[in-house]
C-alpha cells in the first residue's frame, strides 16, 4: 500500500494523518480523563458520559450565540467563558445524578452501567426535544480560523492546535489535582480503602459526590472543546462512548498516564490506517487490535500496584 507514493509524500501523509490523529487524541483524552476519574477511581461505569460532554457542547453553542447577539465586541474570548459555564453545568448535573442515583449503586457496578445507560437515553431525548434534532455548530472567532503552513505540503489548523493546547493544560490541571492536592489524596484514599478512609475522618460520601461531579465537569469541558472541531447533535456523545471506554480500559483504569498513552496509541493507529484503508475498516482493525491486546493483557498497559 506504500508503493504508490514517493518518500516525501509518505512523510507528509504521515505528518498530516498524525496531526489529524492528534486532534482525535485530544478528544479522546478529554473524554477519557473524566471517565478515568469516574471509572478508574470510583469503579462506576458512566454510560451517560457522552451526554455530559454534549451538554457542555450545547452550553458552548448557546454562549457563542449570546455573545454574537449581545456582546459582539467580546466574541474573541467567548470560548473561555463558555468552557467555565460548561464545566459548571455538567459538573452540577453530575453531582445531582450522583446524589439521586449513583450513590445507591456503589456496590453493584454492573447495575450502574444499566442505570446510566437509561440516563443517557433520557438525556438524548431531552436534548432532542429541547434543542432540536439537527446538529448545531458554533461560529469560531476570527483568530481561530485558518491554518499554519509548516512546509508546502503540510498545514496545521489553528483550532486543532488550540484544542491540543487546551488538552495539555486540562491534563496537567487534573494530574495536579489528583496527585498533588489534599483533595486528590482523599479521593485516592477512598478508592483504595473506603472503610479506612472513613475511619481517619474523610467524608467519603462528599468525596464521592465531588469526584463524580469533577469527572462530569471535565466531560463538559471536553464537549466545549469538541465544538471547535465538529458539530453537535443529540446523539453525538454516543459515537465516542465505546471508544472512550476502551481507551480507559486499555490504558489501565487507574492510571492517568496509561489513559493518555492508550488514547495516543488508539487515535494514531486509527488515523494512520484511515488513510490507507476505508474509515470503517480502520476503526474495525483498531478496535479489534485493542480487544486482542486486552485479551492478552487484561489489566491494561499501566497498572498501579495496590495491596488488597
Interface residues with another protein (CB under 8 A) are 43, 45, 101, 104-105, 107-111, 113-115, 117-126, 128-129, 242, 245-246, 249, 252-253, 278, 280-281, 283-284, 287-288, 290-291, 294-296, 298-300, 303, 308
Nearer to another protein, 9 or 111 (CB): 111
In the bound complex, what is the minimum distance in angstroms from residue 288's beta carbon to another protein?
A: 6
Nearer to another protein, 76 or 109 (CB): 109
Nearer to another protein, 84 or 105 (CB): 105
Nearer to another protein, 67 or 250 (CB): 250
Q: Find out whether 143 and 194 touch, Cβ atoms under 8 Å.
A: no
The burial class, CB within 10 Å (0-12 / 13-18 / 19+), for 307 is: exposed
Nearer to another protein, 170 or 290 (CB): 290
Q: State the residue for C-alpha cell 469541558.
A: 221
In the bound complex, what is the minimum distance in angstroms from residue 121's beta carbon to another protein?
A: 3
Q: Cell triple for residue 149? A: 503552513
40-to-252, 267, 289 alpha-carbon distances in Å:
8, 20, 22
In the bound complex, what is the minimum distance in angstroms from residue 217's beta carbon to another protein?
A: 22
Please state, as a whole number, how many other Cβ atoms lie within 10 Å of the Cβ of residue 11: 14
In the bound complex, what is the minimum distance in angstroms from residue 245's beta carbon to another protein?
A: 5
Nearer to another protein, 94 or 252 (CB): 252
Residue-by-residue DSSP string for 91-146: HHHHHHHHHHTGGG-TT-HHHHHHHHHHHHHHHHHHHHHHH-SS-B-PPPPGGGSS
In the bound complex, what is the minimum distance in angstroms from residue 244's beta carbon to another protein?
A: 10
In the bound complex, what is the minimum distance in angstroms from residue 151's beta carbon to another protein?
A: 34
Q: Which residues of 119-144 are buried (b: 16+ CB within 10 A; e: fewer)?
A: bbeebbeebeeebeeeebebebbeeb
The burial class, CB within 10 Å (0-12 / 13-18 / 19+), for 101 is: middle
Amino acid at each position: 500500500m506504500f508503493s504508490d507514493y514517493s518518500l516525501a509524500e509518505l512523510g507528509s501523509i504521515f505528518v498530516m494523518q498524525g496531526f489529524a490523529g492528534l486532534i482525535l487524541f485530544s478528544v479522546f483524552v478529554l473524554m477519557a480523563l473524566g471517565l478515568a476519574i469516574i471509572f478508574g477511581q470510583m469503579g462506576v461505569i458512566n454510560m451517560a458520559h457522552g451526554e455530559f460532554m454534549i451538554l457542555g457542547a450545547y452550553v458552548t453553542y448557546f454562549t457563542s450565540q449570546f455573545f454574537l447577539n449581545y456582546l459582539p465586541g467580546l466574541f474573541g474570548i467567548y470560548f473561555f467563558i463558555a468552557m467555565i459555564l460548561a464545566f459548571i453545568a455538567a459538573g452540577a448535573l453530575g453531582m445531582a445524578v450522583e446524589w439521586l442515583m449513583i450513590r445507591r449503586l456503589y456496590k453493584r457496578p454492573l447495575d450502574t452501567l444499566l442505570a446510566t445507560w437509561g440516563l443517557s437515553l433520557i438525556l438524548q431525548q431531552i436534548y432532542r426535544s429541547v434543542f432540536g434534532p439537527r446538529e448545531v455548530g458554533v461560529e469560531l472567532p476570527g483568530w481561530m480560523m485558518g491554518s499554519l503552513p509548516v512546509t508546502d505540503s503540510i498545514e496545521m489548523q489553528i483550532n486543532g492546535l488550540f484544542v491540543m493546547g487546551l488538552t495539555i493544560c486540562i491534563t496537567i490541571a487534573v494530574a495536579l489535582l489528583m496527585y498533588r492536592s489534599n483533595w486528590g489524596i482523599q479521593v485516592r484514599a477512598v478508592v483504595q480503602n473506603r472503610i479506612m478512609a472513613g475511619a481517619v475522618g474523610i467524608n467519603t460520601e462528599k468525596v464521592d459526590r465531588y469526584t463524580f461531579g469533577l469527572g462530569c465537569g471535565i466531560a463538559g469541558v471536553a464537549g466545549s472543546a469538541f465544538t471547535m472541531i465538529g458539530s453537535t447533535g443529540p446523539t453525538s456523545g454516543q459515537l465516542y462512548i465505546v471508544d472512550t471506554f476502551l481507551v480507559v480500559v486499555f490504558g489501565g483504569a487507574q492510571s492517568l498516564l496509561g489513559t493518555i498513552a492508550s488514547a495516543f496509541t488508539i487515535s494514531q493507529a486509527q488515523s494512520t490506517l484511515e488513510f490507507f484503508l476505508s474509515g470503517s475498516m480502520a476503526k474495525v482493525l483498531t478496535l479489534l487490535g485493542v480487544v486482542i491486546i486486552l485479551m492478552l493483557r487484561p489489566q491494561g498497559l499501566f497498572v498501579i500496584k495496590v495491596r488488597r
